[in-house]
Amino acid sequence: MLGKVVIVGVGLIGGSLGLALRRRGKAREVVGIGRSAERLRQAQALGAVDSFTTDLAEGVRGADLVVVATPIGIIVPTMHALAPHLEPGTVVTDVGSTKREIVEAAERLAAKHSFAFVGGHPMAGSERTGVENADPYLFENAYYILTPTPKTPPEAISRVAELVEAVGARKVEIPPDLHDYYVAAVSHLPHCLASALCNLIASLPEKEAILPLAAGGFRDTTRVAAGDPVLWRDILLTNTAPLRELLALLLRVLQELEELLAKKDARGLEEWLRRAQILRKEVPTKSKGYLPELHEIVVTVPDRPGVIAHLASLLAEKEINIADIEILRAREGEGGTIRLAFTRPEAQEKAYETLAAAGIEVRKRGG
Ligand SMILES: NC(=O)c1ccc[n+]([C@@H]2O[C@H](COP(=O)([O-])OP(=O)(O)OC[C@H]3O[C@@H](n4cnc5c(N)ncnc54)[C@H](O)[C@@H]3O)[C@@H](O)[C@H]2O)c1
Ligand SMILES: O=C(O)C(=O)C[C@]1(C(=O)O)C=C[C@@H](O)C=C1
């Protein structure tokens, strides 16, 4: 169990960490630090912190783990303000969406003030901000990236790994530079594209006629563009080199599309779309590459309301936890196939036996 955990910046991410730790009983004490007592009181009322203070020095006294969860542009200034008050042995981590600049600055400070730092980035979130949108289940089964360097003490990594596990997430270790390139590709560039699509529509004289027609396609591809512009401004500004490199590649991909359309190249266009379709289908399982393989079963079920609830309750009765669930095929009237994944082979085996004993068509896959 973690001891005193201090969260600086109890917003969406800080609040979700606090809620998860407290609901799961994984920390002796969760203390929130912020600028406004009124907002911190709200965080306490929502159950995200046990207590709070607006005084940094008082808040971090006796802390085992300090989590800096402020907007990204304020993470390094916050660490500067915190550093003189930290006791030797305190471990500090952050949740910032970019890592190279933060880790460099934090490691310089850590060496000067003798605390330990481990960069962190949970790969879960929302376009909404504020503790009122915090969610205790946000990190369950999500990847949580840690970015240790050769300077990071192993005990500090273990303490932050304990936080990751305590909130139900899965730890992945990636060096800061590589982290920034990877998330530029899967998070920051998609955000830029979503914003670009919105800006394009906004610039069209026919905008008023077009926008009401936006259905699932536009909504799904642009959800993240509703995010906080100040937060995203700072994410993009702290990751310009990887983003510009990927943007140049993206322009080539768009150019390729433009040429296919100009030539009315049906085969080429279909192939271009198929490549994308294949990649998109790989998304849920592809990310497993960083982790031990999940252990899966595949269940064939009739097309009937409540069938997933029935599977889930059979497994719940045996206290088997589902780590991932995916509907692979569902044809009207013909039933479908559902993939259920478990973190441990014993759970896979138990799930297989439980469902087979209930007369359900089930087979094991992977693991
Ligand atoms: N939103 C996401 O999807 C997401 C996901 C992963 C990581 N992150 C990272 O998490 C961090 C926080 O993002 P968020 O979405 O929770 O934002 P948020 O606005 O919901 O939360 C930030 C909190 O920090 C507080 N704060 C601001 N300045 C402060 C200061 N000087 N001292 C103390 N507290 C201060 C704010 O009042 C707010 O409560 C960012 O660094 C972001 O890069 C966000
Ligand atoms: O809005 C969401 O759904 C998110 O998960 C946000 C998202 C992402 O791009 O996936 C955005 C920024 C964070 O650093 C991590 C996650």
Q: What is the pLDDT of residue 159?
A: 98
Top mutation candidate among 75, 102, 123, 144 for ligand 2, by most atoms within 8 Å of CB: 123
CA of 234, closest atom in ligand 1: 43
Which helix (H) or strand (E) segment holds residue 4: the answer is strand 2-8
- What confidence category does residue 303 fall into, taking pLDDT thresholds of 50, 70 and 90? confident
Cβ density class 237-276: b for 16+ within 10 Å, e for less: ebbeebbeebbeebeeeeeeeeebeeeeeeeeeeeeeeee
Main-chain dihedrals φ then ψ at residue 86, nearest 5 degrees: -85, 140
Can you give the residue ranges of every domain in the chain? 2-174, 178-287, 292-365
Residue 40 has pLDDT above 80, yes or no: yes
Q: What is the pLDDT of residue 289?
A: 42
Q: Is the dihedral of CA 128, 131, 132, 134 positive or negative?
A: positive
Q: How is domain 2-174 classified at the architecture level of CATH?
A: 3-Layer(aba) Sandwich (3.40)
Structure tokens at 194: 């979503």
Q: Identify the weakest region by mean pLDDT among 142-151, 242-251, 294-303.
A: 294-303
The yes/no answer to whether this complex scores an ipTM above 0.90 is: yes
- What confidence category does residue 291 fall into, taking pLDDT thresholds of 50, 70 and 90? very low
Q: Is 269 in the pocket of ligand 2 (CB under 6 A)?
A: no
What residue's CA is closest to ligand 2, atom 10? 187
- What confidence category does residue 215 fall into, taking pLDDT thresholds of 50, 70 and 90? confident
CA of 191, closest atom in ligand 2: 9
Structure tokens at 155: 């005990």
Q: What is the pLDDT of residue 331?
A: 56
- What confidence category does residue 333 fall into, taking pLDDT thresholds of 50, 70 and 90? low
On average, the pLDDT of the chain sits at 93
Distance of CA 47 to CAs 7, 131, 270, 310, Å?
13, 10, 51, 32
Ligand 1 centroid from CA 258, angstroms: 39
Main-chain dihedrals φ then ψ at residue 358, nearest 5 degrees: -90, 10
Main-chain dihedrals φ then ψ at residue 144, nearest 5 degrees: -130, 110
Q: How is domain 178-287 classified at the architecture level of CATH?
A: Orthogonal Bundle (1.10)
For the segment 122-139, what is each residue's pLDDT rounded down to a tens digit? 999 988 899 999 999 999
Q: Is 224 in the pocket of ligand 2 (CB under 6 A)?
A: yes
What residue's CA is closest to ligand 1, atom 13? 71
Q: What is the pLDDT of residue 58?
A: 97
Mean pLDDT of 115-123: 97
Tracing tokens 């699932």 back to the chain, one arrives at 216
Q: Is 124 in the pocket of ligand 2 (CB under 6 A)?
A: yes
Find out whether 67 and 41 touch, Cβ atoms under 8 Å: no
Q: Which CATH number fits domain 292-365: 3.40.50.2300, 3.30.70.260, 2.30.110.10, 3.75.10.10?
A: 3.30.70.260
